[in-house]
Amino acid sequence: MKRYVAKRLCISLATLLAILFILFLMLELMPGSPFNDEKLTQSQVALLNDKYGLDQPVYYRFIQYVKHMVTGDFGVSYTISKNTSITTLLASRLPVSIRIGGQAVLLGTVIGLFLGLLAALKHNTIFDTLTTVVSVLGVSLPSYVFALALSYSLGYRVHWFPLLYQQEAAMKSSVLPTISLAMFTVATVARFTRTEMLEVLGSDYMLLAESKGLPEWRLILVHGLKNALIPIITVLAPLVVSLMTGSLVVEKIFSIPGIGSLLVTAIQSNDYNVIVTLAFIYSAMYIGIMLFVDILYGIIDPRIRLAKEGNYEH
């Protein structure tokens, strides 16, 4: 097991380093410079380049950059808010995004589990059909469709929730974005729970547990759901991806001061450092979760661990 974890860790670190390198190279190739102001003279631009270390060779800047990233110093923003350190920018924005993302995952998982369980237990009834419809819609429609529909109906028409995010009413204004982001989670979790639960319910050990006279709740929750849950971990990765992309658009629609809207602004104003930092943070979160999922899966299901170790041994 240690060997397996170590190997996964190495691959993740290599990926992270590769990402840093790619990010850096791509930004090198980018047209324009942060000092596009026509009023700046040649020598002023040179001075600015010198000040920010942009006149150093590429490899040197890359090593410097990695060094800084490791120590958590992401540098300063060039254009969005001049000379503010990105760490400060993130400090106020990251919690907002994480909070809404977390709420969405939590809400989505709970509702998804409930729907999936209901559909499996009441197989081929109206509940089952309803769950299928919800999961097909949730997987197919992008989160901004839900965001727009919700903000028009519940926000604009009946005024239940604010149209735009308000810092002072954070709870109330995070309701609509949370629901829009949660739809994909609901759909995916419901779909998987239903399929897995149906399979588990038809298995021999469930028949045995039932014939031993266990109470129904114990039968379903302990013997059924626990086993059905294992494969659901695999859908975590697509969920994270959908939350990331979703957050960009949903944050724009509700003008939430999170990192998604920061990335959009940074892209539109060519703010190198902010883009690289955010891309790095998104990638790091993604890699971290993939690593977590792989290791967790190995712990829960020994078959996977052994199979994978066998694969790497070859």
Interacting residue ranges for other proteins, rule: CB under 8 A: 11-12, 14-16, 18-19, 22-23, 26-27, 29-31, 136-137, 139-142, 144-145, 148, 152, 156, 163, 241, 244-245, 248-249, 252-253, 263-264, 267-268, 270, 275, 279, 282-283, 286-287, 290, 314
Residue whose C-alpha is closest to residue 247's, from 137, 98, 120: 98
Min CB(270)–other proteins separation in Å: 8
Would you say 28 or 37 has its CB closer to other proteins? Answer: 28
Structure tokens at 253: 């629609």
Shortest distance, position 313 Cβ to other proteins, whole Å: 12
Cα separation, 162 vs 159, whole angstroms: 7
Of 200, 219, 197, give the one whose Cα is nearest residue 128. 197
Q: Closest distance between other proteins and the C-beta of residue 70, in Å?
A: 18
Taking the complex as a whole, the smallest distance from the CB of residue 287 to other proteins amounts, in Å, to 5
The answer to whether 250 touches 181, Cβ cutoff 8 Å, is: yes
| Amino acid symbol at 28 | E
> CB within 8 A of 10, min separation 6: which ones?
none
Q: From the CB of 155, what's the least distance to other proteins, in Å?
A: 9
For the CA atoms of 38, 44, 45, 50, what is the dihedral angle to 10 degrees?
-160
Min dist. Cβ of residue 48 to other proteins (A)? 21
Q: What is the Rg, in whole angstroms, of the alpha carbon atoms belonging to the chain? A: 24
Q: Residue holding tokens 């239940």?
A: 160
Long-range contacts of 1-7 (CB under 8 A, 24+ apart): 1/298, 1/299, 1/305, 3/309, 4/295, 4/298, 4/305, 4/308, 4/309, 4/312, 5/295, 5/298, 7/312
Residue with smaller CB distance to other proteins, 14 or 207: 14
